[in-house]
């Protein structure tokens, strides 16, 4: 996990203690590079946190190392719980605390202190639909999980043995969010709050988006618990959100393959205030007659109504045009 890894690496460097951090092989580069920047030796093995355990146990045995578990440890859970202490000290009238769940250390610590300070407060956890392991475990169900998720920081296949009883005792509910809600949440935090969050960190906001009826009229404290996201992935999410909101549109335009056609298209789009982001002039790979061509134009707009205005302008200039749904790929 990025936060725990960087914290251990930082404090180890301050104390002059060598630290070895084991991360899954596909961990985002932002987490790996920041951890290495604090002087830790980073080992990349396995597809997820649970698959790292074999490597961890081998290194402990070979080099007589001490394990500092990222969540399944009472002291780690206590330290992470100070986030709840700070939240309720600053805002003591919250109705709900909303906390992402991976292995359960963060929510276990927060729930323990919150129950002591505010026995009446509602504590809700959030997991992804692909990795609902804590929800399944506390319900006594068989664990079934897997897949590629934006929230890799909470993609844990097995809840902690220390944390699970605490979560079961103190947490009122666990909500599940899908990948689309996670993408929306990451984008909304950047665009509306200027907060950069990774998928796991934005899970609480995703829960409000996907389960808004649960939070209607409530004062909610949401833990944004990680900002370790690669810039390329963040850019992709922002563009995908713009496409789904209609602020990026892809238009396919049929033209005669003769001089001046492209200029006419760009002039029509410009008259409506659209901004051409990308344009593809295709003669070869579409099923079109030899004297015709297709133009695919990606246009930045103000929204769906603006897209309609641009399409009407193009059709008024005698172009055959249709909108391609970029988000679904049709």
The average pLDDT across 175-182 equals: 98
Asked if 124 and 184 sit in the same domain, the reply is yes
Q: How far does CA 125 lie from the centroid of its chain?
A: 16
| Tally of domains within the chain | 3
- Span 99-118, mean pLDDT? 97
Examine the domain organization and report whether 110 and 198 are in the same domain: yes
| Helix-then-strand count for the chain, H and E | 13, 10
Helix axis angle, 179-188 to 203-210, nearest 10°: 110
Report phi then psi at 321, rounded to 5.
Answer: -140, 145
pLDDT at 114: 98
List, for residues 135-170, the tens digit of each pLDDT value.
Answer: 999 999 999 999 999 999 999 998 999 999 999 999
pLDDT digits over 256-304, tens only? Answer: 888 889 999 999 999 999 999 999 887 776 777 777 888 999 999 999 9
Strand 41-44, strand 20-23: pairing: parallel
Residues of the chain above pLDDT 90, percent: 82
Residues 132 and 231 in one domain: yes
47-70 residue pLDDT tens: 877 788 889 999 999 999 999 999
Rounded distance between C-alpha atoms, residue 43 and residue 52, angstroms:
9
Does residue 225 have a pLDDT over 70? yes
CA–CA dist 23, 282 (Å, integer): 44
Structural domain boundaries, residue 281: 246-324
Specify whether 188 is located in the same domain as 277: no
Is residue 190 a part of any domain in this protein? yes
* End position of a domain, from candidates 35, 63, 91: 63
Domain limit, last residue, from 199, 218, 240: 240
Find all residues with CB under 8 Å of 287, minimum gap 6, and list them. none
Position 326 pLDDT exceeds 60: no
Both structure tokens of 312: 């009407």
pLDDT tens-digit map of 10-50: 999 999 999 999 998 888 888 899 999 999 999 999 887 77
Positive or negative, the Cα torsion across 299, 302, 308, 313? negative
Query: What pLDDT does 330 receive?
Result: 39
Confidence of residue 1 (pLDDT cuts 50, 70, 90): low
User: Can you tell me the distance from the alpha carbon of 11 to that of 296, in angstroms, rounded to the nearest whole number?
Assistant: 52
Query: Average pLDDT over the chain, rounded to whole?
Result: 93
Q: Of 29, 210, 249, 222, whose CA–CA distance to 122 is shortest?
A: 222
> Which pLDDT band, with edges at 50, 70 and 90, does 328 fall under?
very low
DSSP element (H, E) containing 70 = none
Domain for residue 330, yes or no?
A: no
Contact between 225 and 200 (Cβ < 8 Å): yes
Query: Within a domain: residue 68?
Result: no
Alpha helices, DSSP H only, in the chain? 2-15, 29-37, 53-63, 74-90, 105-117, 133-138, 163-170, 179-188, 203-210, 212-215, 231-244, 261-271, 304-316
Q: Is residue 8 part of a domain?
A: yes
What pLDDT is recorded for position 290?
A: 75
Instruction: Give the domain CATH number at 143.
Output: 3.40.50.1100
């Amino acid at each position: 996990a990025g936060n725990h890894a960087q914290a251990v690496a930082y404090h180890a460097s301050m104390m002059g203690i060598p630290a070895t951090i084991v991360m899954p092989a596909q961990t985002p580069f932002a987490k790996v590079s920041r951890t290495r920047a604090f002087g830790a030796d980073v080992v990349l093995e396995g597809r997820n946190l649970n698959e790292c355990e074999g490597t961890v146990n081998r290194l402990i045995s070979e080099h007589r190392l001490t394990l500092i578990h990222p969540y399944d440890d009472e002291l780690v859970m206590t330290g992470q719980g100070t986030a709840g202490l700070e939240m309720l000290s600053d805002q003591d009238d919250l109705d709900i605390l909303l906390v992402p769940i991976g292995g359960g250390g963060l929510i276990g610590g927060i729930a323990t202190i919150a129950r002591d300070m505010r026995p009446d407060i509602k504590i809700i956890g959030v997991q992804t639909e692909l990795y609902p392991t804590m929800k399944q475990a506390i319900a006594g169900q068989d664990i079934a999980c897997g897949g590629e998720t934006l929230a890799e920081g909470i993609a844990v296949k097995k809840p902690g043995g220390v944390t699970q009883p605490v979560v079961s005792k103190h947490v009122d509910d666990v909500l599940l969010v899908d990948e689309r809600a996670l993408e929306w949440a990451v984008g909304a935090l950047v665009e509306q709050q200027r907060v950069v969050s990774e998928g796991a960190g934005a899970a609480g906001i995703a829960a409000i988006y996907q389960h808004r009826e649960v939070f209607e009229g409530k004062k909610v404290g949401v833990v944004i618990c990680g900002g370790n996201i690669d810039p390329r992935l963040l850019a992709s999410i922002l563009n995908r959100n713009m496409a789904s909101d209609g602020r990026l549109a892809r238009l396919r335009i049929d033209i005669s393959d003769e001089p001046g056609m492209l200029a006419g298209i760009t002039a029509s789009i410009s008259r409506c205030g659209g901004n051409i982001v990308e344009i593809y002039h295709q003669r070869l790979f579409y099923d079109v007659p030899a004297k015709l061509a297709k133009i695919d134009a990606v246009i930045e707009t103000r929204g769906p109504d603006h897209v309609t205005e641009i399409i009407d302008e193009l059709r008024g200039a005698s172009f055959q045009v249709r909108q391609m749904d970029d988000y679904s790929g049709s």
